[in-house]
């Protein structure tokens, strides 16, 4: 039978492996250390990330990248962005170039500003590369709650393969050719989840959140279009869908970090409570520098950067945001400023 490799034994990789295993597909799930792999194989429970959920018995955990990838028709990369390149480089030794290779990681590499699919192209011999992104909270997927995602690739074969192995009664997979738009949607929404968590903690009301989400979508698409993305992508699951979910769910680490900051916690205290450095914090620093370099105005992101890294006070940041010159409501429909 067709074998699938999942590189990364976190919550999302485990949830995707469970879908494919439940469809009768043999899945190799790679963990960084052999102890974690052995523990999973003994119980079929990812106690660290998905405690209490027994995953399908067709999943075999391993700490060997060779075992996880050799003979696979599809390999999913589910590794956090700070470790993505090093794992991709090691994985590349075992790829023969014929497999479909798909990133599920929502991040940008610091220093190079490389998206994850760009790193896969640099570190492996694979051509058939794609990106998976959408409103995908792993715990809800593992609990088999209805949801959907987007697979983006320039190769129809990649889209069709991912749709075939991941589509099921509770999970829908939509296709898109706009790889950059889908990836950037997944990256940028983490920034605005921090902002939404903050204003929620301040009890600013539904009008505030509605305005924030709408202007966030405008900033995301404005930035992404500079990289050749299609603004219409941001009307789909990888754009507004992921933005809404991440900005409203307490399951989102980025939302929780923003909420803690809104309650008066320091950034260090907030990230410690969340259990790890939220991807959005890292993204604020990376995208702020790039936006300044390219002359792209991103008022909400700039406000968060001022608050978290420039020592500005929250009242001053909020006042500056409300004093921003008023602009066109919907971008890309006419003259914008």
Residue 41 sits at φ, ψ, to 5 deg, of -65, -30
Beta bridge partners of residue 115, listed in sequence order = 108
Contact 198, 315 (CB under 8 A): no
Given 3, 106, 128, 189, the catalytic residue: 189
Which class for 236: exposed (0-12), middle (13-18), buried (19 or more C-beta within 10 A)? buried
Q: Could you give the strand order of the β-sheet that contains 27-30, starting from the edge strand earlier in sequence?
A: 59-62, 27-30, 3-7, 72-77, 100-103, 129-133, 147-153, 171-176
C-beta separation of 218 from 331 below 8 A: yes
Count of other CB atoms within 10 angstroms of residue 116: 27
Pick from 130, 115, 218: nearest CA to 174: 130
Annotated catalytic, 128?
Answer: no
Which structure tokens are listed for 223?
A: 């930035």
Positions marked active-site = 189
């Amino acid at each position: 039978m067709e074998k699938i490799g999942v590189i990364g034994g976190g919550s999302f990789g485990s949830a995707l492996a469970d879908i494919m295993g439940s469809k009768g597909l043999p899945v190799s799930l790679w963990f960084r250390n052999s102890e974690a792999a052995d523990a999973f194989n003994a119980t079929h429970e990812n106690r660290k990330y998905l405690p209490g959920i027994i995953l399908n018995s067709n999943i075999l955990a391993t700490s060997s990248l060779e075992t996880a990838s050799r003979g696979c028709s599809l390999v999913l990369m589910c590794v956090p962005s700070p470790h993505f390149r090093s794992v991709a480089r090691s994985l590349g030794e075992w790829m023969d170039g014929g497999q479909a290779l798909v990133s599920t990681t929502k991040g940008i590499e610091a220093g190079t500003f490389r998206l994850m699919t760009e790193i896969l192209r640099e570190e492996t011999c694979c051509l058939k590369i794609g990106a998976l992104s959408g409103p995908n909270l792993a715990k809800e997927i593992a609990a088999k709650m209805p949801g959907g995602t987007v697979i983006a690739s320039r190769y129809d074969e990649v889209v069709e393969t991912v749709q075939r192995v991941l589509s099921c009664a509770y999970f829908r997979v939509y296709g898109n050719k706009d790889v950059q738009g889908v990836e950037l949607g997944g990256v940028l929404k983490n920034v605005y989840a921090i902002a939404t968590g903050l204003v929620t903690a301040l009890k600013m009301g539904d009008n505030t959140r509605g305005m924030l989400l709408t202007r966030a979508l405008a900033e995301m698409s404005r930035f992404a279009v500079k990289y050749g993305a299609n603004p219409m992508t941001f009307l789909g699951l990888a754009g507004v869908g992921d933005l809404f979910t991440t900005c409203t769910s307490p399951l989102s680490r980025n939302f929780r970090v923003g909420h803690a900051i809104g309650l008066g916690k320091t950034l260090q205290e907030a990230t410690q409570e969340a259990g790890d450095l939220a991807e959005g914090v890292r993204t604020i620093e990376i995208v702020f520098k790039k936006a300044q370099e390219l002359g792209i105005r991103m008022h909400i992101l700039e406000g968060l950067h001022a608050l978290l890294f420039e020592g500005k006070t929250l009242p001053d940041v909020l006042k500056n945001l409300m004093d921003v010159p008023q602009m066109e409501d919907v971008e890309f429909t006419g003259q914008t400023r």
